[in-house]
Amino acid sequence: MVKSTLNYLAEMSERPFYYLYEPPAGTQLRNTTGDRRTVPIHDARDLEPEPSLEREGFALARHETAVENLYHETTIRGAYYPEIEELVKRATGAVRVLAFDHNVRSATRAEQGEQGIQHPVKLVHNDYTEGSGPQRVRDLLDADEAEARLKNRFAVINVWKPLGGPVQESPLAVCDAQSIRPQDLKGTDLRYRDRTGEIYTLAFNADHRWFYYSNMGTDEAMLLKCFDSDSGRARFTAHTAFEDPTSPKDARPRESIEVRTLAFFDA
């Protein structure tokens, strides 16, 4: 177990928003204030039974990719996406899995200005909401298939994988979905040039239970559920990068890839 300070959302009267591009002159980039809280983060490798997607909302899987270059957009979509779709299908029993988006993160490469590479996100958040989860299905499928799929259960499952290991700098912390209350989830607008998306940022709750997998290697992947249409299962798994106080001073900067998928079920 380690202790670290996480960035929650401070209480506010208006709806939170973030611009994901340079906003118009005179417009603030965001209207939020952080609420920094020091919390214990436990090593999920010590949990018995092992965490599951259906209970805690996250799980560890073995995955060794055959893709050599996970910094190349075309290779990621053409070769890595199919691997991830098969991984999620095996892990969940879904009848169809669609990988549709990804983020590659490396502070070193981002600071060098490499296109498409981002810094680790140090903000407690969940990628989808009650509204944006179903909307993503409608965005990605044709109208008839989307409405047919939405009649049955579906989930948004992210697959987070190190590009170098072991991960000792800015690891990913995940919040046990069972410890999140509905009132902790704050709908937040992400303003793009051409659309507005919606995520949840989280208000602090002392009951939140935080976990990470220590020293993750390149032969591992973490699956985390960011939405489930079935209210009887884990539905929202908040997450954030964090500063590990036990990290060696010469620890390699974290490099990772996260792929978002839609998992569809028969019922």
pLDDT tens for 195-207 read: 999 999 999 999 9
Q: How confident is the model at residue 51 (pLDDT cuts 50, 70, 90)?
A: very high
For the entire predicted model, the pTM comes to 0.96
- pLDDT of 191 over the 90 cut: yes
Are the C-beta atoms of 70 and 133 separated by less than 8 Å? Answer: no
pLDDT tens for 99-129 read: 999 999 999 999 998 988 999 999 999 999 9
- The phi, psi pair for 88, rounded to 5°, reads -65, -40
Predicted local confidence at residue 267, as pLDDT: 83
- pLDDT of 65 over the 90 cut: yes
Predicted local confidence at residue 113, as pLDDT: 87
